[in-house]
Structure 1
Amino acid sequence: MLTCNEIRPAGAWDDSRAADAVVLDFDGRHRRRLMMTGQKGLAFLLDLPKATALRDGDGLVLQDGRTVRVKAAAEPLAEITAPDLRALVRIAWHLGNRHLPTQLLGDRLRIRDDHVIRDMVEGLGGTTRAVEAPFDPEGGAFALHHGHNQDGQHEHPHRHG
Structure 2
Amino acid sequence: MTQPICTSTTPNVTAPADTITLDETARHRRRAKLTSDGGIAFLLDLPKARLLRHGEGLLLDDGCVIEVRAAPEALMEVRGSDPRHLLALAWQIGNRHLPAQIGADRILIRRDHVIEEMLKGLGATVSHVEAPFDPEGGAYGDTHSDHHDHDGHGHMHHHHHHD
Which category describes the TM-score, using the shorter chain as reference length?
Answer: 0.7 to 0.9
In structure 2, the residue matched to 1:43 is: 41
1:64 counterpart residue number:
62
CA shift in 2, pair 1:115/1:15, >3 Å = farther
Q: Which residue in 2 is equivalent to 1:53? A: 51
CA distance in 1: counterparts of 2:52 and 2:105, whole angstroms: 25
Structure 2 letter corresponding to 1:21? T
Checking the alignment, whether the CA contact within 8 Å between 1:103 and 1:135 is kept in structure 2 is yes
1:52, distance to aligned residue in structure 2 (A): 1.5
SS in 2 for 1:86: helix
User: SS of the counterpart of 2:105?
Assistant: coil
The TM-score, its normalising length taken from structure 2, stands at 0.77
- TM-score (normalizing by structure 1): 0.78
How many Å apart are 1:53 and its aligned residue?
1.1
Candidates 117, 120, 127, aligned match of 2:118: 120
Which residue of 128, 131, 134 maps to 1:133?
131
Report how many residues are paired: 134
Deviation at 1:98, TM superposition (A): 0.8
Aligned residue in 2 for 1:6: none
From 10, 26, 29, give the equivalent of 1:28: 26
Q: Which among 77, 84, 89 is matched to residue 87 of structure 2?
A: 89
Matching residue of 2:3: none
After superposition, give the CA deviation of every residue in 1:111-154 in whole Å (9 maximum; x if it has no partner): 000011111111111010100000001113235389xxxxxxxx
CA contact (8 A) 2:12 2:64 kept: no
- Of structures 1 and 2, the one with the larger relative CO (CA 8 A, separation 6+) is 2
Matches of 1:52 and 1:109, distance apart in 2: 21
- Pairing 1:100–2:125 present: no
Task: Provide structure 2 residue ranges, at least 5 long, that are not aligned to the other structure.
Answer: 1-10, 145-163
The alignment partner of 1:51 has SS state of strand
Q: RMSD of the TM alignment (CA)? A: 1.8
Secondary structure, aligned partner of 2:104: coil
Percent identity for Structure 1 against Structure 2: 53
**Inter-CA distance 47–121: structure 2 relative to 1 (3 Å threshold):** same
Amino acid in structure 1 at the alignment position of 2:50: T
